[in-house]
Copies of this chain bind each other. A is one copy, B any other.
Amino acid sequence: MADPDYSRSLAFLLSQVGAESAGMFARRLEPLGISPRAFAVLSHLSRDDGRPQQQLADALSIHRNVMVGLIDQLERDGWVRRHRGIADRRVFEIRLTPEGREIAERAERVVPALDDELAASLTERQRAQLTAQLERLARALGLERGIHPGLAS
């Protein structure tokens, strides 16, 4: 039987390769005991520590109800702690622990390693072209830097 017509389509290839890339990323995070969503939170905090839960949820397009369980898990793992806000006593500021900062750094090293692995079949020039075109595409589609639609809820 012939290959389906759509198997060479841009939409299908983007979706197919993207799902595989997301899967590879999740599998490489698994030994560290963190989910892709937990990665997003840890990485965000490592650049901007002490954000309230609500702001974290907004920034990552994750529903605040879901954020509760995420932070619960990260707190259980000892990577973040909730600190009651002083100016506004309704909020919990989320701060990385030293262990949390370390796991965030380890997790972020997964990204360039995976990039190299993904690009192994491409020349340096092809890799740079592909990255640039994907970024142009992301902007044209209205996707924001660092916000993954697959994590939204």
- A137→B108 contact, CB < 8 A: no
A108 to chain B, nearest CB (A): 7
Which stretch in A65-73, A79-87, A88-96, A121-129 binds the other chain? A121-129
- B17→A14 contact, CB < 8 A: yes
A115 / chain B contacts, CB cutoff of 8 Å: 9-11
What is the total number of copies of this protein in its complex?
2
Interchain CA distance A5-B137 in the complex, whole Å: 18
Residue A32 lies at the interface, judged by CB distance under 8 Å to chain B: no
A43 to chain B, nearest CB (A): 6
- A145→B19 contact, CB < 8 A: no
Interchain CA distance A122-B150 in the complex, whole Å: 24
Interchain CA distance A124-B108 in the complex, whole Å: 35
A87 to chain B, nearest CB (A): 19
Residues of A within 8 A of B (CB): 1-25, 43-44, 47-48, 108, 111-112, 114-115, 118-122, 126-127, 129-131, 133-141, 143, 145-150
Instruction: Give 15 A-B pairs besides A5-B108, A19-B150, A121-B140 with Cβ atoms closer than 8 angstroms.
Output: A1-B48, A4-B47, A4-B145, A6-B111, A8-B135, A9-B112, A9-B115, A10-B134, A13-B135, A14-B17, A15-B22, A16-B138, A18-B22, A19-B148, A130-B133
Q: Could you pull out 28 A-B pairs where Cβ atoms are within 8 angstroms?
A: A2-B47, A3-B145, A4-B44, A4-B47, A4-B145, A8-B131, A8-B145, A9-B111, A9-B115, A10-B127, A11-B25, A11-B111, A12-B111, A14-B21, A15-B148, A16-B147, A16-B149, A17-B18, A17-B137, A19-B19, A19-B22, A20-B138, A20-B141, A121-B136, A121-B137, A126-B133, A130-B133, A130-B134
